[in-house]
Structure 1
Amino acid sequence: MKVKNIVIFLLVGGLIALIAYRIMSNKSQDEKTNQKSGSPKAMSIVNGIVLKPKKFANELTLSGSIDANEQIELRSEVAGIVQGIYFEEGSYVSKGKQLIKVNDIELRAQLAQAKTRQTLASENERRAKLLLQKEAISQEEYDVANAEFESAKSQTQLIQAQIAKTSIVAPFSGKVGLRSISPGTYVTPTTLIAKLVNTNQVKITFSIPEKYASLMKNNAIITFTTAGNKEIFNAKIYALEPAVEQTTRTLQIRAIAENKDGKLLPGTFANIILPLEEQNDAILIPTESIIPIQNGKKVFITENGKAKEVIIETANRTEKEILVTSGLKVGDTLITSGIMAIKEGAPVQLKLIQN
């Protein structure tokens, strides 16, 4: 019985000692926490720059298409058998050169018949005129003879026009592409014969956002490059659409570029650099100083030794900097490092770097 009481006494004493230890331990922890909370905030060491006005040549980078100066699909206006092909595939042809001849034997026979009728009608009109002068026939009878003559003459002219359509000539100088017919092929107005392209000059077609529409002028020079070619080409703006496209809110523009050496191929894309106005007092900041947020972008500046959050609006960018259009002013001290670790109102130790 004595042993049992001793064991119970030891257990109760151990439990009391454990409770006392936990109470003292928690008290010590609270004191440490209070000491920490009462200590001043740690100061962040950051880099920064003082904003100064800079010269900035504002420009747009756009995509456009390269088109031939002139380009058509050669087709026959009349149906018939191809009698002759007078061009080589891929060759250069001059304006007015005959390219295709469609057989016109039947039309020439019709022309001979029409000319015979015209001759007879002409003679009948001449006789009727003489008889009218002698008052041997009425004015009405003469008018009938004259109308028959005019009709026969018109029929002759119509057949001559159809014969002229059997010869396809180049409407402008250029290069003929691959032909899809051979001598003896029966062609119709829907048959594609070949393509004729003038590439001595090429057209550059592109669109710009409507907010830049007022800045575009005729004769302005643009530069562009093409895929796989580092050479920079120049083009001159010569035409602008008179209205903004409502669905895309863009203005379509067309420029023309010389292509004497044939390096620019119609149908390819052009990477266009379009110069806008030059600003002498632009504010440019490093891209790494910007924090994207839900409604835009923000940066931190220093004010009275503390970090201050500023919402900004930006425009074009260069390789390392971006143009700020609102939110910052000349003389502000911008924080450029450690921006993800600081908060609004946090004390900072600034180290100015050369801007």
Structure 2
Amino acid sequence: MSLETITATPPKTWDATTTTPPPLAPEPTPQPAPTGKRGWLGWLIAALIIGGIAWAKVKYFPSNAGGDKKGGGKGSAGKGAPGGKGALTPVQVYVVAATNLTDQVAATGSVLAEESVIIKSELSGKITSLNIKEGQSVSKGQLLFSINADEAQAAIQKQQYNIKLYRDQEKRQRTLLDKEYISAQEYEQSNNALLTAQADLQSLRATLAKAYVRAPFAGVLGLTTATVGTYVSPGAEITTLSKVRPVKIDFAVPGRFAANVRVGDVVSVVDETTNKTYDSKVYAIDPQIDPVSRTQPVRARFANTNNELRPGAFVRVNLKLGESESALQVPTEAVIPEASGYNVYTVKGGKMVPQKVKIGIRSDKVIQITEGIAVGDTIIRTGILQVKPGDAVKVIK
């Protein structure tokens, strides 16, 4: 193996003074950016991002550049201008004051007769006499009508003859028993026959009494379609009898007020037809709350001396539960219901401050506040939706 000597050839050099250097490679020409679909998408995304940032700045970080300068020029949002920094929201307010408040419960009720009954026949037969004058007053025990009772009278006469026979037999049997001619059992049989006949006579007399129908109490008769000669069956309705002096007022109050109702409480009754008001008194309270409606049935009584109220009429009832001279009430629209209770918006130091409250009696116009505010507090009643906690407000009349 022979080693060859490798001679390195030195790089060529150029003499700039005598020899022209070889030309250099041309520089690359810059290409324009692609203008296809991807380019337009990028511009669109960038525009959306910039727009979103600008909207967030205007919405949450409003600026009032130049607006606070003294004597700001045209278009400046000066102090108090709507939409500008420190803008005052106009609101109407209510100043809390102590007022008189009557604690009462409103309900609907019905008028009932003091006593009312449907007059019916207990026997079958023809009406032989009719003493019913429709719409007229009758006294207790007055005869209203009678039914043919010939059969009952004949049965009673027959039974009286039987009793006479049984009584004579009982006397003879007693004499024989005293002389020990008969046994005690034979005497007891004859005596039992007499007693049974006497009981049957009492039953027949009770049946005869049913043929003569009398008023069970004093009252006013209703209408009737019966006439003399009408054949009636047991249970047939002849007329009605009602005692309308006094009358009862039936109504119910919500269960949460049940503990506040007392016998003797005054009830204001408004007649729906005449719109007149009458005072009555509670005389009975049902011991149970209705499990369906969760209300407490209550009954009052009204003298009805001049027949002011008619049974069956619909009435409005106001039950007074008490009266307060220092109640705090605010307009209904000023109370904001929330999931955790109720709020009102107060004005303190020129700014809106929310305040949790507890409510009591409420009506269409005002609501009683039992806790959360005091006399002299300023409550916002209009413009509630335009303010947030801490916002400066401007009170307007």
TM over 0.5: yes
Measure the CA separation in 2 of the matches of 1:276 and 1:43.
44
Q: Distance in 2 between matches of 1:323 and 1:189?
A: 60
- The 5-angstrom pairing of residues 44-59 of structure 1 reads 44-59=89-104
Which letter does structure 1 place at the counterpart of 2:315?
Answer: A
Cα distance in 2, alignment partners of residues 335 and 344 from structure 1? 12
TM-score by length of structure 2 reads 0.76
Aligned to 2:154, what secondary structure does the other structure show?
helix
Are the structure 2 counterparts of residues 34 and 321 from structure 1 closer, same or farther at C-alpha, using a change threshold of 3 Å?
closer
Distance 2:64 2:98 in 1: 47
Answering whether residue 64 of structure 2 is matched by residue 35 of structure 1, we say: yes
- Specify the alignment match of 1:137 in structure 2: 182
1:344-355 matched pairs, under 5 angstroms: 344-350=389-395
Which deviates the most, 53-62 or 192-201? 53-62
Which whole-Å deviations, capped at 9, do the CAs of 1:191-211 have from their partners, x for residues lacking one? Answer: 110011111111000111111
Give 1:88's aligned amino acid: K
Q: Secondary structure at the match of 1:310?
A: strand
1: distance between equivalents of 2:240 and 2:121?
12
2:197 matches 1:152: yes
Q: Distance in 2 between matches of 1:295 and 1:105?
A: 80
Q: CA deviation at 1:55?
A: 2.7
Name the counterpart of 1:332.
377
Task: Supply the distance in 2 between the matched residues of 1:54 and 1:342 (Cα, whole angstroms).
Answer: 29
Instruction: Kindly state the Cα deviation for residue 101 of structure 1 after the two structures are TM-superposed.
Output: 0.2
Aligned mates of 1:206, 1:322 — CA distance in 2: 25
Kept after mapping to 1: 8 A contact 2:117/2:242? yes
Between structures 1 and 2, the one with greater strand share? 1
1:241 aligned to which of 283, 286, 299 = 286
User: Number of residues paired by the alignment?
Assistant: 325
SS at 1:56's partner residue?
strand
Match of 1:209 among 254, 269, 273: 254
Q: Could you tell me whether the CA contact under 8 Å between 1:241 and 1:251 is conserved in 2?
A: yes
What is the aligned-residue RMSD (CA, Å)?
2.5
Following superposition, the deviation at residue 297 of structure 1 comes to 4.7
Q: 1:347: how far off?
A: 1.0
Identify unmatched segments of 5+ residues in structure 2. 1-50, 69-83
Q: Is the Cα contact below 8 Å between 1:92 and 1:173 reproduced in 2? A: yes
Corresponding residue SS for 1:193: strand
Structure 1: tracts of 5 or more residues without a match: 1-25
Q: Percent identity, please.
A: 30
- Measured after TM superposition, the shift of residue 294 of structure 1 is 6.6
Secondary structure of the corresponding residue to residue 153 of structure 2: helix
1:232 corresponds in structure 2 to 277
Structure with a larger share of its residues in helix: 1
The answer to whether residue 97 in structure 2 is matched with residue 97 in structure 1 is no
- Partner of residue 106, structure 1: 151
Q: 1:275 aligns with which of 320, 323, 327?
A: 320
The code of the aligned residue for 1:257 comes to F
Q: Which has the higher contact order (CA 8 A, sep 6+)?
A: 1
Looking at structure 2, the residues matched to 96 and 51 of structure 1 have their Cα atoms a distance apart, in angstroms, of 65
What is aligned with 1:70? 115
Q: CA deviation at 1:319?
A: 6.0
> 199, 209, 231: which one pairs with 1:186?
231
1:317 aligns with 2:362: yes
Per-residue deviation, 1:239? 0.5
Separation in 1, partners of 2:237, 2:373: 62
Q: Which has the larger radius of gyration?
A: 2
TM-score norm. by structure 1 comes to 0.84
Change (3 A) 1:199 1:108: same
Contact 2:64/2:85, CA 8 A, preserved across alignment = no
Aligned to 2:311: 266
Contact 2:63–2:85 (Cα < 8 Å) also in 1: no
Q: Shift in Å at residue 35 of structure 1?
A: 3.1
**Corresponding residue SS for 1:136:** coil
Distance across 2 between alignment mates of 1:115 and 1:345: 103
Q: What amino acid maps onto 1:109 in structure 2?
A: A
- In structure 2, what is the Cα distance between the partners aligned to 1:89 and 1:343? 72
- Report the Cα distance in structure 2 between the residues aligned to 1:230 and 1:66, rounded to whole angstroms: 15
Is the Cα contact below 8 Å between 1:307 and 1:344 reproduced in 2? yes
